[in-house]
Chain A
Amino acid sequence: MTVLEWVASFLLVLGGLFVLIGAVGMVKLPDVYTRLHAPTKTTTLGIGCILIASMCLHVAEGRGLSIQEMVISLFLFITAPVSAYMIAKASLHRRVSMLKGTANSELAEKVRDRKAPEQPTTDEQRPAEH
């Protein structure tokens, strides 16, 4: 085995462990807001490790540097925080109960009541300018 294959094997095992830790966190953690942390950080890191291992193996087999894994991991790294934010926002909106003793939990109601941005007025509604 070449050095690259050793590196790829190590990264594969690390990625698998990270994915498993994220799933264990999904089951063990007590409420939605803490459970959001497990997949968005740990699982994303795990899949990044697996995709980098795939890149290493591409190079080790002499098939050149593959850019597709990079595209997938970049996409996942960008979208994971966005989807976590949207799920947290939906949980706040539905008044999902928090863990007892959450700091600043009284702010949740304030965040929930924030209205959507005003729609820009269309040309018909706008008063005529002179």
Chain B
Amino acid sequence: MLATVLLGVAVLVGLALVLNAWRLIIGPTVTDRILALDTMYINCIALIVLLGIYFQTALYYEAALLIAMLGFVSTSALSKYLLRGDIIE
């Protein structure tokens, strides 16, 4: 039962990733693409947590935390670059 639910949720999250990738490709402006990348980071965290539930290990949460931090840092660095033309002034 739980394996079926996990598979279904993984399909939903994968579909969400595909839709975000579509926005990443067609996005008319740069900020659209940054937003799509940020959302794809969050969806990847969801997929990794689902994998951790499936294999019943706590190992994957470290990876999820790392990806969360990298996603935030890269989003803010890209926005800062667009805003000021420089990342660290």
Q: What is A's interface to B at a CB cutoff of 8 Å?
A: 1, 5, 8-9, 12-13, 15-17, 19-20, 22-24, 26-27, 32, 35-36, 38-39, 43-44, 46-47, 50-51, 53-54, 57, 61, 66, 68-69, 71-72, 75-76, 79-80, 82-83, 86-87, 89-91, 93-94, 96, 116
Contact = CB atoms under 8 A, between A and B. Distances in A.
Interface of B: 1-2, 5-6, 8-10, 12-13, 15-17, 19-20, 22-23, 29-32, 34-36, 38-39, 42-43, 45-46, 49-50, 52-53, 56, 58, 61-62, 64-65, 68-69, 72, 75-76, 79-80, 82-84
Contact of A87 (B10, B38, B84): B38
A76 to B, nearest CB: 6
14 contacts: A8-B2, A23-B17, A32-B29, A32-B32, A35-B35, A39-B39, A47-B45, A57-B53, A66-B58, A72-B65, A75-B69, A76-B68, A83-B79, A93-B83
